[in-house]
């Protein structure tokens, strides 16, 4: 049992998708507030570029599928204080709760913690910088970046494009 958990954890660290069923992959996240690691299966969505183009607006496609960034202070959710659940605009996966949203002063919606298992990260070396890019764990859509300059309790700032999100005020 310990070996299985170790293998699953290492696969997640290395970014490998291991089948947990016919369609599921394992995503491992660390709960920064409790210091524990949780493993939660997330059903992956795979679509062609043409399928994504048909389903998304041109701006959603540019940001979610081509790793774009919206201009600071222009996004729909940059200043909102509405309560609810922020979901991926590409696939509807629950990503962030409004309880974790804060005003970072950067011009993008910022959160100190995602929903467990909802996001994955990769290293982004574009534009001569090294940053940690944040993706939806289900559809792989580009959401934004995470930085280690956020508030307590995690010290992290998930800086997310509004176009990559849809706010569900019923949650």
What does the pLDDT profile of the chain (171 residues) look like in tens digits?
333 333 334 343 334 333 333 333 344 444 444 444 455 678 999 999 999 999 999 999 999 999 999 999 999 999 999 999 999 999 999 999 999 999 999 999 999 999 999 999 999 998 899 999 999 999 999 999 999 999 999 999 999 999 999 999 987
Whether residue 139 lies inside any domain: the answer is yes
Whether residue 121 lies inside any domain: the answer is yes
Whether residue 5 lies inside any domain: the answer is no
- CA angle, corner 40, sides to 60 and 19, nearest 5? 85
Whether residue 68 lies inside any domain: the answer is yes
d(CA 92, CA 114): 14
Partnered with residue 97 across adjacent β-strands are 85
Q: In the block, which residue shows the tokens 């919206």?
A: 70
Whether residue 112 lies inside any domain: the answer is yes
Active site residue 159: yes
Catalytic residue among 88, 91, 136, 159: 159
Domain range enclosing 148: 47-168
Whether residue 141 lies inside any domain: the answer is yes
Q: What is the pLDDT of residue 13?
A: 36
Whether residue 3 lies inside any domain: the answer is no
CATH number at residue 87: 2.170.150.20
Q: What is the pLDDT of residue 40?
A: 60
How many domains does the chain contain in total? 1
Whether residue 161 lies inside any domain: the answer is yes
104 conformational bin, left if phi > 0, alpha if psi -120 to 50, beta if neither = alpha
């Amino acid at each position: 049992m310990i070996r299985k958990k170790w293998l699953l954890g290492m696969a997640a660290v290395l970014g490998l998708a291991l089948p947990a069923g016919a369609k599921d992959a394992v995503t491992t996240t660390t709960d920064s507030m409790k210091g524990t690691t949780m493993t939660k299966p997330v059903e992956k969505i795979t679509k062609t570029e043409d399928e994504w183009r048909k389903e998304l607006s041109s701006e959603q496609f540019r940001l979610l599928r081509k790793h774009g960034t919206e201009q600071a202070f222009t996004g729909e959710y940059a200043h909102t204080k509405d309560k609810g659940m922020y979901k991926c605009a590409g696939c509807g996966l629950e990503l962030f709760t409004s309880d974790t949203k804060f005003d970072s002063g950067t011009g993008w919606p910022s959160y100190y913690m995602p929903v467990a298992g909802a996001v994955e990260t990769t290293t982004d070396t574009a534009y001569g910088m090294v940053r940690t890019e944040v993706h939806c764990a289900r559809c792989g859509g580009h959401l934004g970046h995470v930085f280690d300059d956020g508030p307590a309790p995690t010290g992290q700032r998930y800086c997310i494009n509004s176009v990559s999100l849809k706010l569900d005020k019923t949650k």
